[in-house]
Structure 1
């Protein structure tokens, strides 16, 4: 008798569902194996329909499931990377601050206040002083140096420093005109702009790209630093820091030993205007913009753009900056800031190139008007190429070499005057506007432009007014004091 065969267990029927999106059937899966739509909530097909419906082979189903899992991992990883990059960019543009500048060895050294200790009188670059012009004064002394002065004379009230065209630097006693010492500069080349006196040191930016510190008592070299290819502007000394502008940017040096505290690269191109300082703000004039820096951080915080032109002068008084570029003069506040989105434009979208393209599209009426920079006033109708400007509390006097002078108040012309051929930018003195003409000093009333006095001086080249005297230099190599 043959043994009975045991009945085989029934094969469980796989659950199959039809995808509502693509209409295909997938078995043993909560997700469509064709389009990966979630079908867990779709009702299973009846057994007979499920048996006859074409299904994805198990091996292909596993392969597609693996690809789906890998794709999901890649999507999440890409999203995390994008979030990381956005977070880093946001921090870099809006949160991060540049490294704080190194602290100088001492904060005691600054350009002497109340004297004519820099190219433009003081660190503010206003070419203004409360001292009288001494235009009617007597000649207290005259010294012959044998070579004309190469730059303006500077003084701290004790000595008068004269850089000469033959490469010598001469110190004269301010009271008597007696020669205190003479030093020969590097390669016998005079600087292109005046030295700065700060305490017992004299700082010179040489045309060879050297910054020199000399002992004011004897003219001996204390230190030197090679910083740039050349310098056209004067050094500026404030709170123990020497600031020098050159064609590659702005550098801050320790006034005691010359070590670099910070270096801010810039496409300056034209670096012929000495930077200016008031409080925590430093302003530099480049070829196409006046830039405001925070001295405590070394960060540029605001700027005003100009048509590409060689700057003539920049000055600051009570937080207001006046910059002169060619026929254009603009006043703005150091406390002004650009909109937040300008940081994005400057940091990531090309900055100047994008603004230039935007402006061109605006001219062709293909884009809205670019945002206007915030200024106190703007004037673009000065006479020809302006030499620079001197300004007091409420008036700015700009002049051109042919002697045309224009006085401005809040950007509006107050008066215009015609003088002789000018040798340098006017000076705002305590008793009027002093013009240094070819062979003559002329004093005009600051409020009306009317002449108050004049004095002929043969070969006049430079004049630096102080409370003690107005120190003049002539083409014959003489230096004299008017009191």
Structure 2
């Protein structure tokens, strides 16, 4: 039933972005103050799962919900390899540049090397978080709070840690990353640093404490999409807060109330993210003080943002790609992809910006 609840929560969230939501104001005419040119486009199949586009050594690893997995040359868009798994996907893509990993809707972890399936392993539960491939291992985070580690070459399970289940779980990807030799994982409203060799906890910290009168109001989770500078990891707790954590000790550096559902981005000076109603907020990275906020995108469904150079970029549900000044949130440019909407936070590969639509079209741009 817990996994059914995860799907129910996804439906509730989708309804919040449905046709009955308030209509957004019309966008102002585009005045391009920053030159951005299109360089190539491609396709990977409809994206109907929480895709994570992974970029390693000039390759972009992408996947479609129908089971297509591809490694693309990020500069040209040419296939380095492409595999058709013939099974719908629920999570991916994770890669270290050698191995690529996805999870099927049948809860099967599938690991490939140069487009060839190396091995498959059955997982205990629904998995929406892209696997992490690091240190010759593949790590997974499932919706029942189980973290597992596998040998990347042979698929042997090395260890597994399971937390007490929650009445409801969020139907989107969670936090799973490595900072130095620590595996950083989100569990409901908590973040833990695990030893990747055996799964033992080195530290665990409550980012937020759930509140509310029912299980839906108390639903909290640390979502995918974070900003890392050194040991400092800034992240979002769904519906509750944006926080920064010292991943070496687990100490909370600061936390600010924020009612959003997407991950955050940032650089050495700032952290930026969008609220559930489309407002954009930027915070100082050192202490969380507010830098600026923008309301002109209210009631649009926004992707998580990406901070690049002097700008930040994000997509919306109409397929627009917005470029803003990171100094004050003023508009720099706006490009159109397709009307299916942007499916995932834009990703930078060298000097090439990649955006993927829900239709599965991949758009590559060069900001100048």
Which residue among 277, 280, 293 is the counterpart of 2:178? 277
Find out whether 1:211 has 2:123 as its counterpart.
Answer: no
User: After superposition, where does 1:141-290 map in structure 2 within 5 Å?
Assistant: 141-144=40-43, 147-148=46-47, 150=49, 151-179=51-79, 181-185=81-85, 188-191=87-90, 193-216=91-114, 219-246=115-142, 247-267=144-164, 269=166, 270=169, 272-290=173-191
Between Structure 1 and Structure 2, the one with more strand by share is: 2
Give the corresponding residue for 1:424.
303
Find out whether 1:451 has 2:331 as its counterpart.
Answer: yes
Give the corresponding residue for 2:321.
441
- In the superposition, the TM-score normalised over structure 1's length comes to 0.58
- Cα gap change, 1:464 to 1:245, in 2 (>3 Å): same
Q: Which ranges in structure 2 are unaligned for 5 or more consecutive residues?
A: 1-33, 211-219
Number of aligned residue pairs: 307
Give the corresponding residue for 1:480.
363
Tell me the CA shift for residue 468 of structure 1: 3.8
**Partner Cα separation in structure 2 for residue 277 and residue 317 of structure 1:** 13
User: After superposition, where does 1:21-420 map in structure 2 within 5 Å?
Assistant: 136-144=35-43, 147-148=46-47, 150=49, 151-179=51-79, 181-185=81-85, 188-191=87-90, 193-216=91-114, 219-246=115-142, 247-267=144-164, 269=166, 270=169, 272-296=173-197, 298-305=199-206, 306-308=208-210, 309-313=220-224, 314-325=226-237, 326-336=239-249, 375-380=252-257, 382=258, 384-409=259-284, 410-420=287-297
**Partner Cα separation in structure 1 for residue 255 and residue 126 of structure 2:** 32
Tell me the CA shift for residue 416 of structure 1: 0.6
**Partner Cα separation in structure 2 for residue 240 and residue 391 of structure 1:** 28
Tell me the CA shift for residue 455 of structure 1: 1.9
**Partner Cα separation in structure 2 for residue 281 and residue 385 of structure 1:** 27
Q: Does structure 2 retain, via aligned residues, the 8 Å contact 1:249–1:268? A: no
**Partner Cα separation in structure 1 for residue 248 and residue 95 of structure 2:** 29
**Partner Cα separation in structure 2 for residue 144 and residue 297 of structure 1:** 39
Q: Does structure 2 retain, via aligned residues, the 8 Å contact 1:428–1:434? A: yes
Between Structure 1 and Structure 2, the one with more helix by share is: 1
- In the superposition, the TM-score normalised over structure 2's length comes to 0.74
Q: Does structure 1 retain, via aligned residues, the 8 Å contact 2:324–2:333? A: yes
**Partner Cα separation in structure 1 for residue 307 and residue 349 of structure 2:** 11
CA distances 1:261-300 after superposition (whole Å, capped 9, x unpaired): 2222212544731312111222111113111223355321
Quick check: which has more Rg, 1 or 2? 1
Q: Does structure 1 retain, via aligned residues, the 8 Å contact 2:58–2:349? A: no
Secondary structure, counterpart of 1:194 in structure 2: strand
CA distances 1:124-169 after superposition (whole Å, capped 9, x unpaired): xxxxxxxxxxx73332222355645752443435544332233323
Deviates more, 1:221-230 or 1:302-311: 302-311
Shift >6 Å, 4+ stretches: none
Q: Which ranges in structure 1 are unaligned for 5 or more consecutive residues?
A: 1-134, 338-373
**Partner Cα separation in structure 2 for residue 149 and residue 203 of structure 1:** 17
Deviates more, 1:294-303 or 1:426-435: 294-303
Secondary structure, counterpart of 1:311 in structure 2: coil
**Partner Cα separation in structure 2 for residue 303 and residue 279 of structure 1:** 16
